[in-house]
Structure 1
Amino acid sequence: MMKQLRMIGLFVTTAGIFLSSCRKEDKIIPPVITPVDSPAVYNVVKGFYLLNEGNMGSNKASLDYYDYTKGEYHKNIYATANPTAVKELGDVGNDIQVYGNKVYAVINVSNKVEVMDATTAKRIKQIDILNCRYITFANGKAYISSYAGPVEIDQDAPIGFVAEVDTATLEITRKVTVGYQPEEMAVVDGKLYVANSGGYRFPDYDRTVSVVDLATFTEIKKIDVAPNLHRLKADSYGDIYVSSRGDYYDEPSALFVIDTKTDQVKKRFDIATSDLCISGDTAYLYGSSFSYDTNDWAITYDRIDVKNETVLQGSYITDGTEKIIKMPYGIAVNPVTKEIFVTDAKDFVSPGTLYCFDKNGKKKWSVTTGDIPAHIAFVTAAE
């Protein structure tokens, strides 16, 4: 995503955004396969998918796959797996998750969730949801956040919703209205927590987390947190971590902890947080915060002990590689090996780079990805 769009967390574009061409007689470009590591001796995690966002309006969202069993990185696999798909994967890949034996890719501007076989990446079904954003799962259901309106800055933009999808039938079963421009979500003890950004209503951001009772699928309360919320992850102690992008002027990006037993904010970390993942008792996060006052970016790499709710000293990248990462844009941690993956979107218009670090933060390998690499979903042996 272009820098200007990332600054306010919006997905605004020109009038030509939807004019991407069909494939017609274009030749299918086979995946580029790059050996990057030795085949893994364990088989719990078979591999992972990486969803490249692709610059808005370019229709260049793409899908890569890393195969642990062979130590090979496969760049741009979707077209070969789905040779008859019109417009290939679509415009702006915004989230990807694996659940059961399926992989779900949320394609924001194409207004769809692409459901594929987790082993072959072949399309199973397309679920149409306007301006869809993120996806999470619980008890055989998928929950997908939607901005519920067109891609444009608008003070009168509609309030957003979350759609529930049955993962067996892949049909939408229920919808619930939440806040403005809802983003990431997590389920804890029968409640769905939704981070509302209000990004389209700049400078009048939303600042709430919606709490949805899954049994009745109704919003039961809103938790006031901070402006322009984005990321939301649950730990194993009944807390959720939610990031605020701030307002880019007076209020900086920060990270907040909400106790789901009381649904109250109990802690604030004054750490810029663009993305985070929680693995075990550690939250790994990076911040690429922009200030209109300085007209510059500040990039940081931090860790938090979620059990004790304290910031750990030092970066999780320990060998100096962070000095060559231009713009971190995604993070994931292998649940078994604790390898750390960080993506670099670079200039947002050319192929990016994926870096793999061992659990001690030393670089193992790197590889060229598609444009704007952002979202990673691991595939386990049971899937």
Structure 2
Amino acid sequence: MKNYKLIFSFIIVLISLYSCQQDNYVFDGDDTDVTDPENTELSGFYVLNEGNYETNSASLDFMDLENGVYKSDIYATANPTIVKELGDTGNDVKIYGSKMYAIINGSNIIEVMNAKTAKHLATISLDNGRYIKFANGKAYATSYAPISTDISSSNGKVVEIDTLTLAITRELEVGRQPDGLEIVGNELFVANSGGYTTTNDYENTVSVIDLSSFVETSKIEVGINLNQIEKDSDNDLYISSRGNYSDVSSNLYVIDSQSHQVKKTFNLPISNFTIDNNQLYYYSYSYVTSSATYGLINTKTETVTSSDFITDSNVKDIVSPYSISVNPISKDIYITDAGNYTSSGYLYSFDKNGVYKTKVATGIIPGHIAFLYK
């Protein structure tokens, strides 16, 4: 009888060890040796590739920092029974708790995965979803739906999702074609773009939503065709405007999240940005000269500290910069390159001083990064 108990105990231990192993990221597929292994709190980061519109070519890669290896198209290998794989046009990816959420715009879904294995858990229906943020066990996502160029009937919405049940619990109409969103305290700030307007009559407001009542309490007038919005360490909101692509340039604004007033206009043609600690990293891309500059803003002083902090000659190889991210531990800078927008793009990395480190091929239109902690 004792032998049976020992054998049974041994089996239980093996099952436990196997289960633990299954919870760690183990991806099959094409691997590319990229960089030296790093031993930090990060396992690595996911790269969501948007793919070409209406081709179901959105894909997911993983940069394994622990082993210095880039793993391509991991969603397909982790989920071989999903017929159309990740779907059509990946627009955002975030990790919250044990789950990863990818907004697949053209497929009208939010794909929910295990954050460590990228295995499919569920899909949430959301027409023309855009971006997602989290707070207090809830997810908040913007949606362009309904899609219309008629400015009298094209307001989009924000939905609230319970991250345990994955059910949409509340939704609220905001401005036309809402894009980025940010949470400060008990308020949700939503950047309305009006980007589908054919009459050049763009939106210029940020919707302010009380999260308790889920009611829009006010609108803040900023600039036209708003896009990204992120808070700094003082809870000021940095928000970018795309302009009208002709005589009104893109721009960057700062909003006081308490007074709801625009406190600064930078008058910089910013294409994309990210905030880490008290630094805002941005790039400005000129379609006229087909060139980009990479700058830094100190968010404490709200001043530009560098308008060209990446001087390494390798940065000139970037054809079409598409996103910028910063490693929260090492402060390495990652810039994705969409290239010709039809074939594989690239991921470039530079150290915190702007010195070139690596370049690796990605999927089509690499646009969004989510860091995975151990």
Pairwise same-fold verdict (TM > 0.5): yes
Matched residue, 2:340: 347
CA deviations 1:245-299 (Å, max 9, x no partner) are 0112221110000000100001011112221110011000112254xxx6x6553
Matched residue, 2:143: 146
Which protein is bigger by CA-based radius of gyration?
Answer: 2
Counterpart among 178, 184, 188 of residue 188 in structure 1? 184
- Contact 1:272/1:300 (<8 A) preserved: no
Matched residue, 1:255: 252
Query: Within 2, Cα distance between the matches of 1:156 and 1:213?
Result: 25
1:37-116 mapped onto 2 (5 Å cutoff): 37-42=35-40, 44-116=41-113
1:314-325 mapped onto 2 (5 Å cutoff): 314-325=307-318
Check if 1:130 corresponds to 2:110. Answer: no
The one-letter code of the counterpart of 2:268 is: I
Query: Within 2, Cα distance between the matches of 1:34 and 1:180?
Result: 42
- Contact 1:157/1:201 (<8 A) preserved: no
Check if 1:159 corresponds to 2:152. Answer: no
Query: Within 2, Cα distance between the matches of 1:82 and 1:281?
Result: 39
Matched residue, 2:34: 36
The one-letter code of the counterpart of 1:36 is: V
CA deviations 1:289-318 (Å, max 9, x no partner) are 54xxx6x65532111100100001242323
Query: Within 2, Cα distance between the matches of 1:118 and 1:321?
Result: 33
- Residue identity (%): 50
1:167-178 mapped onto 2 (5 Å cutoff): 167-178=163-174
- Contact 1:253/1:289 (<8 A) preserved: no
In the alignment, structure 1 segments of 5+ residues that lack a partner are 1-28
TM-score, structure 2 length as denominator?
A: 0.90
Matched residue, 1:11: none
Secondary structure of the corresponding residue to residue 323 of structure 1? helix
The one-letter code of the counterpart of 1:304 is: I
Query: Within 1, Cα distance between the matches of 2:242 and 2:290?
Result: 13
Runs of 4+ in 1 over 6 A off after TM superposition: none
Query: Within 2, Cα distance between the matches of 1:40 and 1:343?
Result: 21
Counterpart among 258, 276, 279 of residue 276 in structure 2? 279
Counterpart among 276, 297, 309 of residue 302 in structure 2? 309
TM-score, structure 1 length as denominator?
A: 0.88
Secondary structure of the corresponding residue to residue 95 of structure 2? strand
Matched residue, 2:225: 228
Query: Within 1, Cα distance between the matches of 2:273 and 2:244?
Result: 19
RMSD over aligned CA atoms reads 1.5
Task: After TM superposition, give the deviation of residue 324 of structure 1 in Å.
Answer: 1.0
Task: After TM superposition, give the deviation of residue 57 of structure 1 in Å.
Answer: 1.5
